[in-house]
Amino acid sequence: MSAPVSGRDGVRRLCADFPGEYWRKLDSARAYPAEFVKAATAAGYLSALIPEEYGGSGLPLSAAAAILEEIQRAGCNGAGCHAQMYIMGALLRHGNAEQKRKYLPQIASGALRLQAFGVTEPSSGTDTSSIKTVAHRDGDHYVVNGQKIWTSRAEHSDLMLLLARTAPKMDAKGDVQGDRQGDGQGDGKADGKGESKRTDGLSVFILDMREARRAGLAIRPIRTMMNHATTEVFFDNVRIPAENLVGEEGKGFRYILSGMNAERILIAAECIGDAKWFIAKAASYAGERVVFGRPIGRNQGVQFPIAKAYAQMRAAELMVRDAAALFEAGKPCGAEANMAKLLAADASWAAGEACVQTHGGFGFAEEYDIERKFRETRLYQVAPISTNLILSFLAEHVLGMPRSY
């Protein structure tokens, strides 16, 4: 059984065992933070959202957000394991009793890792309704063929939550959303306005990759600018037992969307943690570094970008809290989750920029960890949803402007 989660202090204590040197070594080898993930699992952090009856802590989303924020704030990188927190939501909300009984206790104990989320494909990009990976029913199995890209942690996960087409895409015009920017409130509507036709026919499966890797599943790592254990995954007649279909066949897109608000809020919390790390580091260095006989932090040209990043971070933090509170109250929070992700990603990027600039040349030296964190936090302008797509969601769905695509 997992140990109980013990608040922000507990996360800080755990992170203290994984200093910059640990992450630096992994970064240069592009190696997976196995020891960190093991420790976070054993401490019960990765099962924070799993109900107590299944061996987790049954905590609300804001607690998971606090855990991820603290991990980033300590200079660690939660990207090796954060997905388990939001992927598991689809199983929790839409899985049947047997699936929950079979998987959740094992995920909570760390015996099974559910870290891989197979949605994005090379040819469809953000337009998820255009994915080409297909799953055909064959007796008591589905047979999967196709390809995913950017499937992070696939090599370090036992299970994958997989989105595949089980019926051909239907053409639909009008205000339906075939992309992933939508509200994701879990109300069965892709955009909060009407039933989507383009997204019908997509289904979600729990894929046991341990078996599949022996029979048609190939995983190829992609080396990226930061250490993210991301991959491309190929399916060649991979068989999945029909009992591993999550929810109803053809309704999978709305199950995926329903987890996206949680994902955005949690990633936003990570960005807040990154911003706090950058700001603390920059403010401290500005007070210590003496040039022209005085600390550089006495110059307003050095102070102001750090102070501005701090104000940006605090504003974004309020939006993250607002989004999490709405989510926990079961209220619509698509706009707030999107804005939280947008503002927090911008705040962490501004804080990173201020931190590099404050450090002058040393900002580029690996041993300061700044350039590593800078590369890591850049991702969140693009993934899991890019800034433009959030802006177009706000323009169309909050402000009522015409759909741009």
Residues lying near ligand FAD in the complex (CB under 6 A) are found at: 117-120, 125-126, 150-152, 224, 228, 230, 379, 382-386, 388-389, 392, 404-405
User: Judged by CB, which is closer to ligand FAD: 300, or 404?
Assistant: 404
Residues near 241 by beta carbon (within 8 Å), at least 6 away in sequence: 140, 141
Angle between helices 252-288 and 83-94 (to 10 degrees): 160
CB nearer ligand FAD, residue 377 or residue 386:
386
Min dist CB 125 to ligand FAD, Å, is: 3
Give yes or no for a contact between 87 and 113, defined as CB atoms under 8 angstroms apart.
no
167 vs 382 by CB, closer to ligand FAD: 382
- For the bound state, the minimum distance from the C-beta of residue 386 to ligand FAD, rounded and expressed in Å, comes to 3
Residue 276: closest CA among 304, 319, 306: 306
Name the residue nearer to ligand FAD (CB basis): 63 or 83: 83
To the nearest whole angstrom, how small is the minimum distance from the Cβ of residue 12 to ligand FAD? 26
Q: Which tokens in the block code for residue 285?
A: 């260095």
46, 55 contact by CB (below 8 A): no
Query: CA-to-CA distance for 57 and 197, rounded, in angstroms?
Result: 38
Nearer to ligand FAD, 39 or 383 (CB): 383
Shortest Cβ contact with ligand FAD: which residue?
A: 125
Helix (H, G, I), strand (E, B) or coil at 75: coil
Do the Cβ atoms of 108 and 56 come closer than 8 Å?
yes
Chain mean position to CA 116: 10
Query: Minimum Å distance from CB 276 to ligand FAD?
Result: 22
* Comparison of 78 and 105: residue with beta carbon closer to ligand FAD: 78
Closest distance between ligand FAD and the C-beta of residue 1, in Å? 28
Bridge partners, residue 114, by sequence: 159
- Is the preceding peptide bond at 402 cis, omega within 30 degrees of 0? no
Chain mean position to CA 145: 25
Which residue number, 190 or 279, has a Cβ lying nearer to ligand FAD? 190
CB 58 → ligand FAD: shortest distance, Å?
26
* Least distance in angstroms from the C-beta of 404 to ligand FAD: 6
Torsion of CA 140, 146, 148, 154, to 10 degrees: 50
Q: Tokens 């899991």 map to which residue? A: 384
